[in-house]
Amino acid sequence: MAILRLALHSLLNRRFTALLTLLSIALSVALLLGVERIRSEARASFASTLSGTDLIVGARTGPVPLMLYSVFRIGNATNNISWQSYEEIAAMPRVAWTVPLSLGDSHRGFPVLGTSRAYFDHYRYGRDKPLQLAKGERFTDLYDAVLGAEVAAKLGYRLGDAIILAHGASDVSFARHDNKPFRVVGILERTGTPVDRSVHVSLEAIEAIHLGWEGGAPLRGLDIDAERARHMDLTPKAITAALVGLDSRIATFAVQRAINEYPQEPLLAVMPGVALSELWSVIGLAENALLVISACVVLVGLIGMLTALLIGLEGRRRELAILRSLGARPAQLFGLIIGEALLLTLLGMLLGLMLLSALLTLGQPLIEAQLGLHLGLGTPGPREWLLLSAVLATGLLVGLIPGWRAYRLSLSNGLSLRL
């Protein structure tokens, strides 16, 4: 402890250089832990988006694209499923429930999801948590809409407000379904999933707003108003995807094979867990690359500490020689320099943790609004502690170089320097 106290006083005497070194280490540690926190929370967020669903069914494509567009609202479907195929899948002996999903429309940048009331009964997230309404009720009328928590909060909607849906992802005037306004009847509780950023309407409503449309644009002279649409056949012709629950997990592979070999049209059934595993294998390289870059930044910060200690050591040769003359042993000088490196590393790590917490506190609303990602402010996880341990060990290794140099400084070398 005496060595550490002496090291602390030595750093205080060189406070400006020590502060710059400390700031460099703190910034690099904050970056390293920030990347790891985002990586772990992103995985946890993706994994908790869908629970209790045995299969996701869509047009034949890759498992990852199917998972992305049907569950995470990322990208677009290459093709649709015919309604007849969906009904036949729903009627399979081992299928307990199905939830149809129809995507492709939007409202002021938020995706619109056409589905059935079964969506609110069977959709699960996290650890088998059901969807809950914070206000209002499920859609019952043709032009009812249930908003995700983020949609309502960001756009300031309340129950009873009117909203206009738009065709496709671009909310431009010529693509809006102005003649069929919807009424907000419900707002869901926040889930931390893409549900928060979705506008939910019925499948029949999706059919109604597209009456008189073809190729993504309204047909001239064929304007079907909202009331007239109510009396027309609104049975869906196709949907984007479907969530499927089975009466037994044992039947998963049999039903999956039957859907993948469906003769009427090319379909793909994937298990959510398998699709997520493939997704992690795709983005794992990018995650590791970011982690390596962050580790290099930490290494640069520690090299900065090494440089500061070595340069300072050249100016402290007389100080060290005086300590030797007062009875300090070479091992104690070695311990002094190692103590300085240890203190700089520890204080840099502590400051980095504080800086990361401050940044997450200030940036959490923006991150959640833009990415839908909730970053926890709790204590570091096991991987973060492992990274901090690696930073500390590297800091000690870096301190060995100036420590060994101080160890070898001789008394005569220090006293022979001119004032």
Q: What is the per-residue pLDDT across 219-245, written as a single tens digit (0 to 9) for each? A: 665 677 778 888 888 899 999 999 999
So what's the pLDDT on residue 402?
A: 76
**Is there a domain that residue 158 lies in?**
yes
Structural contact between residues 241 and 79, judged by C-beta atoms closer than 8 angstroms: no
Q: Do the domain assignments include residue 277?
A: no
- Asked if residue 214 has pLDDT above 80, the reply is no
- Indicate whether 19 and 90 sit together in one domain: no
Higher pLDDT, 399 or 205: 205
Look at residue 375 and tell me if it is in a domain: yes
The reply to whether 59 and 38 lie within a common domain is: no
Q: What confidence tier does 411 reach under pLDDT thresholds 50, 70, 90?
A: very low
Percent of the chain at pLDDT exceeding 90: 30
Pairwise pLDDT comparison (91 vs 337), residue with the higher score: 91
Q: What is the pLDDT of residues 118-127, one digit of tens each?
A: 999 999 988 7
**Which tens digits make up the pLDDT trace of 92-102?**
999 999 999 99
pLDDT confidence of 414, banded at 50, 70, 90? Answer: very low
Is residue 275 one of the residues assigned to a domain? Answer: no
Q: Are residues 179 and 309 in the same domain?
A: no
- Percentage of the chain with pLDDT > 70? 79
Mark whether 175 and 27 lie in a shared domain: no
Which residue's entry shows tokens 């040769």? 317
16 within a domain of the structure (yes/no): yes
Q: Are 321 and 414 in contact (CB under 8 A)?
A: yes
| Overall average pLDDT of the 271-296 stretch | 80
Segment 130-146 shows an average pLDDT of 93
Asked if residue 196 has pLDDT above 70, the reply is: yes
Are 232 and 261 members of one domain?
yes
Name the CA radius of gyration of the chain, rounded.
Answer: 31
Among 19-33, 126-140, 305-319, 349-363, the range of highest mean pLDDT: 126-140
For residues 139-163, give the mean pLDDT. Answer: 93
Lowest mean pLDDT among 77-81, 91-95, 167-171, 295-299: 167-171
Backbone angles phi, psi at 102, to 5 degrees: -125, 115
| 261, 149: one domain | yes
- Domain range for 216 is 55-270
Any idea what the Cα angle at residue 332 is, between residues 327 and 333, rounded to 5°? 95
Q: Does one domain contain both 289 and 367?
A: yes
Residue 26 confidence (pLDDT) above 90:
no
pLDDT computed for residue 412 by the predictor:
47
Q: Is residue 101 part of a domain?
A: yes
- Cβ atoms of 185 and 159 closer than 8 Å: yes
Distance CA 241, CA 72 (A): 12
- Closest among 372, 342, 374 to 360, alpha carbons compared: 374
Top mean-pLDDT range of 26-30, 35-39, 181-185: 181-185
69 lies in the same domain as 42:
no
Residue 31 and residue 384: Cα distance in Å, rounded? 12
Rounded to whole angstroms, the Cα distance separating 68 from 71 reads 6
Higher pLDDT, 94 or 379: 94
| Coil, strand or helix at 31 | helix
Q: Is the domain of 41 the same as that of 68?
A: no
Q: 3-state DSSP call for residue 136? A: strand
- Specify the higher pLDDT residue, 1 or 230: 230
Alpha-carbon gap, residue 72 to 48, rounded angstroms:
11
Which among 216, 247, 270 is the end of a domain? 270
Q: 155 and 7 in one domain?
A: no
> Which amino acid, one-letter code, is at 376?
G
The confidence score (pLDDT) of residue 193 equals 86
Structure token pair of residue 304: 């900065």
Mean of pLDDT values over 314-324: 64
Q: Within this chain, do residues 219 and 354 fall inside the same structural domain, yes or no? A: no
Instruction: Provide the domain count of the chain.
Output: 2
The model's pTM is 0.72
Domain end point (choices 215, 244, 270):
270
Residue 276 placed within a domain: no
Strands 182-188 and 133-136: antiparallel
| E strands, 195-240, in order | 199-202, 213-214, 217-218, 238-239
- Domain closes at, from 214, 242, 270: 270
* Termini Cα distance of the chain: 32
Structure tokens at 343: 């203190």
Q: How far apart are CA 22 and CA 301, in angstroms?
A: 9
For residue 365, being part of any structural domain is answered with yes
pLDDT at 87 over 90: yes
- Mean of per-residue pLDDT scores for the chain: 81
Asked if 36 and 114 sit in the same domain, the reply is: no
Amino acid at 280: W
Half-sphere exposure of residue 219, counting CA atoms within 13 Å on the CB side? 11
Q: Select the more confidently predicted residue: 174 or 9.
A: 9
